[in-house]
Structure 1
Amino acid sequence: MSEQIAVTGTGLVTPGGTGAVATWEAVCAGRPAARTDPALADVPVRISCRVPPTARGPGRLWRFDAGTLFLLTAAREALAAARLDPAEWAPERVAVVVGTAAGGIGTLETQHRRLLASGPGALSPMTLSAFLPNMAAGHLALELGATGPSLQTSTACASGATAIITAALLLRAGLCDIAVAGGTDAMVTPLCAAAFAKTGALSRRGHDPLGASRPFDRDRDGFVLGEGAGVLVLERRSHAEARRARPLALLAGHGSSGDAYHPTAPHPGGAGLRAATGSALASADRSADDVDHVNAHGTGTTLNDAVEATAIRELYARRPPTVTSAKGVLGHTMGAAGAIEAALTVLTIACGTVPPTANFTTPDATTEGIDVVSGAARQQPVRLAASHSLGFGGHNTVLLLSVD
């Protein structure tokens, strides 16, 4: 790649806590956030990973969908970490790129129930501006006064990672100097939970919420639905250096691909993930032997974990990297997952610490042979890490993050 892309700030709002520090502590402790969810009382699967109520912002829910509130909070933290003040930048040189799988689905469900129960007069006048898929990016750009490119990406559970790739392309094309990029989703709703349950994708361990999300474990039976947001501030390295900002990590490379195989199942041979990894390595001028760590998609579903584990074992056969999945703690945060996990990968590099995969106790035949960190966080220098994100529709993304 031509000019290096620096990550100068991160922000997180997750079921592990509000803020990067709180989330990092929860993930490193392997402390699952899953709980029985009263809002899902009428749904076959009644457990979820919820963001703490404080992240929703007092008095603002009537204006915004919950996912937008998560995004605004995470973005403020990321900008503070990057030492950027919107009052001082050139707004036309700032891009906003946000990924989401479902837009403001919670708002849509709520307002639809009102329409059916009480008629059109009961609808909020903010309905459209809260639930339309583009509005998270629109509201963030408005909040920041950013008048550069404002884009929303949607590649299912790879959406947040796709947003980061898109932002990097905008920076390299010279269309902005700063990109506020990430993902958000608030899909812990009755409709989404019921629909995922119908597909068989959710864990049925309602009697044991804390043990329900089990990435790569022999006894895994599905993911736990989660919510949240992750934001990265990206700049060309020269721009960051000109303002004396020290990069937390570099976006060394990236790759994306489509399976063209099945609407919801990954390619059984992991062809799309392998292709995306190959593209990422080529763009970074690196080899698989250079990768120290993989932040896996690791959903805890039988099929996804088997395909991903096999691909990891074969891609990195000569020098196996450590592997972790944050979903054992945070659940599956859908369109936010790629950005949240990219931010966690940055922290892994910065701290020299690989978090454990919560609830991973016993490998099966498909996960044997890969070094899944479990039990406790592992101290390890990480110079190059890969973050995987896969989504319904056959979307695959791989981000390569490296030390400065």
Structure 2
Amino acid sequence: MSEVAEVGSRRFASPGRKGLPSWVWATGRTIISVAVTLFGLAALTFFIGRLLPLDPVAAVLGDNATQEAYDAMYRQLGLDQPLWVQFARYVWGILHLDFGTALTTGKPVMEDIARVFPATIELASVAIIIGTGLGIPMGVLAAMYRDTWIDQLSRVVGLIGYSAPNFWLGLMGLVLFYATLGWVAGPGRIDFTYEFDLEPVTGFLLIDSAMAGNWEMFGNAFSHIILPASILAFGAFAYISRMTRSFMIEQLSQEYVVTARVKGLSWSRTVWGHAFRNIAVQVVTVVALSYAFLLEGAVLTETVFAWPGFGRYLTNALLAGDMNAVVGCTLLVGVIFVTLNLLCDLLYRVFDPRTR
């Protein structure tokens, strides 16, 4: 036994190549993979932007600019340089967190993103709370009572959540809950009368108004955010409930569930106390990826509700041909997805020994 233990301990602590621990090599491979992914994303977006029939000079000066002004701006933007030189300069700027100047606002792209991104984070965070709070219980109940009316209801609601486009749901929601019933506030993030009543601290209106004790403003901000957040949450709810149901059905077919029932545990305690614990990491992964999709997929919802966030900023940049802003936003979305995927992978390695 002692020899076996000694061999096992040496194997567990075995160094990687050239005497380095294996975790060092794993970390290095992860960093290289992330760097290559982001570089490829930047290159793809940059060259597609240059091939599109959009004129950034016209976006800045307008269609009535003189030829002299056009040529001067063309050189100022560096468009007279070879394409590979433009890309090399752009990558050098990215390494210094400089995405250039947004042609639509005249400000640095990073400054614009820092201004609009908190609104999108707040919207997506409320949406994921709603989607997770409803989706996980619905998925578990659908698995517990498989092929009953609860399961059928879950499938129908999930099908609608997958099929109905967000912009249509948003318009119907505004017509019903705002224009007809008057239950919620209209488009925008807050009423104009409250815009200058609060000094922003975090950039999140709900948090800032609660910290300041301005509950009237908090109620107004909540009334504005609840409808677009619910529209976004509908799609997340459909995905989370469907995946939770699938994970739970697989667990409920395992032998330990039968053993727990034979020992006298109640059905609900068996499901929530044992089966759900075994799928918790998988569910967290689904929730994390859903959150990333909400951050990236809020474009149409923000447009419908005139929400001054990241999605609306990206839409305006696309319509104006502002490729500096488009590429900067695209890279940010890529960083979000890569980061959340890394966190999910780390959770798997921490809580599931089989993946180590």
TM-score by length of structure 1 reads 0.24
TM-score by length of structure 2 reads 0.27
Who wins on radius of gyration, i.e. which is larger? 2
Higher strand fraction (1 or 2) = 1
